[in-house]
Amino acid sequence: MKNLFDLTGKIAVVTGASSGLGMSAALAYAEYGADVALLARRKEKLEQVADKIREMGRKALTVVCDVSDPESVKSATERVLEYYGHVDILLNNAGIATRGSVEDLSIEDWDKAMNTNVRGMYLLCKYFVPGMREQKYGKIINIASVNAIIADKSPLLARHVYNSSKAAINGLTLGMAASYMQDGITVNSIGPGLFESEMTQDTLFKNESFLNIYNATTPAGRPGREGELNGTILYFSSDASSYVTGQYIVVDGGASIV
């Protein structure tokens, strides 16, 4: 029987591939047979991930890209298409977790978070969707957050622009999903709960009261472990989800259901 999760011969682009969830997903793509383009700002970190992928016998291209900078995204997408010729899978994962309430946030903070978390995704899609439509195949996976649908559980932690940007990602996902299914493109989003990464290790993981509240109010009783997001990413990235579009799956150990 055909393995519905097999990605052999596919080209996958991962933004924010230099650390955390994006790095883990890039390695999972290679493990399932895909060649990968790794995008982020830190070249050295990307090269370390690329070396691991090449050791697995897959191709890896690293491209320095600041997703908040339209020119940088344009040239990065051109470089990917020049190298691989086409793209099958786009994992829009790069993001920042700006803190603050509407009162605390500066306009610059707001714009930076929205430009990184949402406008960057729009730009990546803008440049890769035409080729996907032409080839009649594409899998787009947008990493939102459980904070698209719930506020942070700790009342001490306000992240109003983060909440806004992650909810906007789900809007983008819905609209694109409806437009492009006829072209063989599925567009879905994922809402991770708490996972340890550069984004969270020095803040949330070292904040005992936050961690206690999260664990006590999450049916799993713990944060997500390394690799626990990859099953959902691989599902949306493969033919296992060929009839699934515009969906948002929360991967949070039940944190959002209680």
Tokens (6 digits) for 12:
């996958």
Number of residues that this document lists for the chain:
258
194 part of the interface to ligand NAP, by CB under 6 A: yes
Binding ligand NAP by CB under 6 A: which of 37, 53, 65, 234? 65
Candidate ranges 63-71, 79-87, 172-180, 206-214; the one touching ligand NAP (CB under 6 A)? 63-71
CA 50 to CA 26: how far, in whole Å? Answer: 9
97 part of the interface to ligand NAP, by CB under 6 A: yes
167 part of the interface to ligand NAP, by CB under 6 A: no
CA 131 to CA 33: how far, in whole Å? Answer: 21
Q: Which residue among the candidates 127, 137, 162, 214 is catalytic per the annotation? A: 162
Sign of CA dihedral 97, 102, 105, 108: positive
CA 203 to CA 58: how far, in whole Å? Answer: 35
Candidate ranges 4-12, 102-110, 187-195, 235-243; the one touching ligand NAP (CB under 6 A)? 187-195
Q: What is the DSSP string of 150-196?
A: S--SSTT--BHHHHHHHHHHHHHHHHHHHHHGGGTEEEEEEEE--B-
CA 78 to CA 86: how far, in whole Å? Answer: 10
45 part of the interface to ligand NAP, by CB under 6 A: yes
200 part of the interface to ligand NAP, by CB under 6 A: yes
Q: For residue 93, which of 1, 43, 21 has the smallest C-alpha distance?
A: 21
Q: Which is nearer to ligand NAP, 200 or 241 (CB)?
A: 200
Per-residue x/- track, 12-31, ligand NAP (CB under 6 A): ---xx-xxxxx---------
User: Which positions touch ligand NAP (CB under 6 A)?
Assistant: 15-16, 18-22, 40-42, 45, 65-68, 93-97, 116, 143, 145, 192, 194-195, 197-200
Active-site positions read: 162
